[in-house]
């Protein structure tokens, strides 16, 4: 039976887990369906600026202070040749990952321009499929060298005299998967990354490199033994509700079951890095993650566009993105904060359209529920994560996607300190139907006399946002007096940020 215990959250401001890097609130964009063309880049639309970028999207991304944006893939990059997408004469090509023609009108220069408009760091993922070390290192030359070499000179000739100074680069994308173009064995990958990293860092030793990885012992040992001294990051991906072929969404309860495994990959990679003595040198970039996997059925076998392209429109059904997505997103961000000592970057995949937190249409945008989670966390949560613990944790009895009985914790909490030294708690109530309460247990000393709570919820778990309809959005902040014995009440299926202190 589901229990209704009042959880105790034990807070001691002297127990600090670490400072989170703002890059855990990063995002990702790929040349898939409407993410680039008709998404962030829409020349001719009245809402776009003179360079073709959607100003409403830029404004929304600046609101959530996007710190880093990974591009151009994703699977797309494993057959993408960046040199076709720079300069005055763009060479269209057939995108062998997604089986559409790529016009290459959005390339490196446009991407850097977009990042600068948003105010975020660029993070370029390179072609480790059909490409190689020289192509990758030429890309670093194009972006980062002042004038040396033909590619830096081509950038200058194109009107970009100053180097772009791209710091973050990833070697490959999911090259461990058989379906990825240019898939490689563990042994092949270790040597490939070594030679690619060698050439890229010869061009610019200041860059920070990541490489495609997963929580697999053999893959990572081969990678790290060969290239550990050249890497600063190891890349992980996670999509819990895989919808690649079948677009049947996991319901709210099943989505809550997925939160049980959020930390699994991080824990395994943490242990491996520690065993190899690399835990102080290499951090985790969880550079693709989302509750929902992208729907792209029959990409290998479809004969007509109606079989393998048209179904991708199902990704853009706003009714599918509900409080389940918001609550899961908050639980993921809590996990990343809790592991701030080793998770230094995370990239929600994608940021616009498909499963993104922003949906574009010709007349404007829709902010899906997950967007509001980023808004709450980025603009309210503190940067110092406290090492809290809980007691009397309530448990929910739920069913997973297969209909099997399962359990999950009803509440997910973290506590932080903001720049002013105030305590800010993120508290998620996963219970679909019932409000839940928790009590803060203080170690003594000065106890706040009030708090302000920001809450994101909806009228039901299926609440969604669409054109001319908002069913899931933050409520106006509510201030309340506080005494040490008080409990804090959380609405059902809600994401909450609670700020304690006198500066409310």
288 is catalytic: yes
Q: What is the bridge-based pairing of β-strands 68-71 and 93-95? A: unpaired
> Can you say whether the dihedral through the CA atoms of 13, 14, 17, 21 is positive or negative?
positive
C-alpha pair distances (Å), 274 with each of 187, 224, 269, 280, 282: 21, 12, 8, 8, 10
Choose the catalytic residue: 30, 110, 141, 174: 174
Backbone angles phi, psi at 384, to 5 degrees: -100, 120
Say which of 30, 102, 121, 288 is annotated catalytic: 288
Length of the chain: 504
The residues with which 292 forms a beta bridge, in sequence order, are 241
**Alpha carbon distance 26, 34 (integer Å):** 20
Q: Which of 208, 221, 123 is nearest to 173 (CA)?
A: 123
Q: Is 174 in the active site?
A: yes
Closest CA to 424 of 9, 4, 27, 25: 9
Backbone phi and psi for residue 191, each to the nearest 5 degrees, phi listed first: -70, -40
Q: Report how far residue 54's alpha carbon sits from residue 84's, in angstroms, rounded to the nearest whole number.
A: 24
Asked whether the CA dihedral 246, 247, 251, 256 is positive or negative, the reply is: positive
Residue 241, beta-bridge partner list: 292
What gap in Å lies between CA 182 and CA 349, rounded to an integer? 22
Q: Where are the beta strands (DSSP E) in 312-353?
A: 343-348
CA 430, 434, 439: angle at the middle one, nearest 5? 75
* CA distance from start to end of the chain: 39
Tell which residue, 81, 66, 82, has the closest CA to residue 29: 66
CA–CA separation, 31 vs 164, rounded Å? Answer: 21
464 neighbors 322 (Cβ within 8 angstroms): yes
Indicate which residues carry an active-site annotation.
Answer: 174, 288
């Amino acid at each position: 039976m589901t229990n209704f215990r009042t959880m105790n959250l034990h807070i001691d401001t002297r127990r600090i887990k670490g400072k989170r890097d703002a890059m855990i609130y990063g995002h990702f964009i790929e040349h898939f369906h409407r993410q680039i063309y008709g998404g962030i880049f829409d020349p001719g639309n009245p809402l776009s600026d003179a360079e073709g970028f959607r100003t409403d999207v830029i404004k929304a991304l600046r609101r959530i202070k996007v710190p880093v944006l990974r591009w151009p893939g994703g699977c797309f990059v494993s057959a993408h040749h960046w040199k076709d997408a720079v300069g005055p004469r763009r060479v269209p090509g057939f995108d062998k990952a997604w089986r559409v023609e790529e016009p290459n009108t959005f390339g490196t220069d446009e991407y850097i321009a977009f990042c600068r408009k948003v105010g975020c760091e660029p993070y370029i993922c390179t072609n480790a499929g059909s490409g190689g070390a020289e192509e990758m290192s030429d890309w670093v030359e194009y972006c980062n060298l002042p004038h040396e070499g033909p590619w830096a000179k081509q950038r200058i000739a194109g009107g970009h005299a100053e180097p772009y100074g791209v710091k973050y680069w990833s070697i490959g994308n999911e090259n461990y998967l058989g379906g990825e173009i240019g898939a490689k064995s563990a042994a092949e990958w270790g040597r490939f990354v070594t030679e690619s990293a060698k050439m890229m860092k010869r061009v610019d030793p200041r860059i920070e490199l990541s490489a495609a990885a997963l929580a697999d012992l053999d893959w990572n040992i081969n990678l790290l033994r060969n290239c550990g001294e050249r890497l600063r990051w190891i890349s992980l991906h996670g999509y819990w509700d895989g919808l690649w072929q079948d677009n049947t969404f996991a319901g709210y309860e099943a989505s809550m079951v997925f939160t049980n495994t959020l930390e699994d990959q991080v824990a395994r990679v943490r242990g491996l890095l520690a065993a190899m003595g690399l835990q102080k040198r290499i951090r985790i970039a969880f550079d693709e993650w989302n509750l929902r996997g992208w729907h792209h059925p029959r990409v290998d076998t479809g004969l007509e566009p109606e079989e393998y392209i048209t179904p991708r429109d199902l990704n853009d059904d706003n009714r599918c993105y509900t409080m389940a997505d918001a609550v899961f997103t908050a639980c993921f961000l809590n996990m990343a904060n809790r592991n701030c000592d080793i998770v230094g970057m995370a990239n929600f995949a994608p940021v616009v359209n498909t499963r993104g937190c922003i949906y574009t249409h010709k007349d404007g945008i829709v902010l899906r529920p997950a967007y509001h989670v980023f808004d709450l966390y980025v603009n309210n949560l503190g940067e110092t994560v406290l090492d809290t613990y809980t007691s009397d944790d309530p448990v929910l009895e739920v069913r997973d996607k297969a209909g099997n009985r399962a359990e999950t914790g009803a509440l997910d909490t973290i506590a932080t300190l903001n720049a002013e030294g105030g305590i800010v708690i993120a508290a998620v109530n996963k219970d679909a139907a019932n409000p839940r309460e928790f009590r803060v247990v203080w170690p003594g000393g000065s106890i706040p006399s009030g708090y302000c709570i920001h809450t994101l919820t909806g009228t039901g778990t299926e609440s969604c946002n669409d054109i001319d309809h908002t069913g899931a959005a933050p409520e106006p902040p509510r201030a309340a007096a506080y005494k040490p014995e008080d409990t804090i009440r959380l609405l059902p299926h809600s994401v909450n940020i609670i700020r304690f202190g006198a500066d409310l």
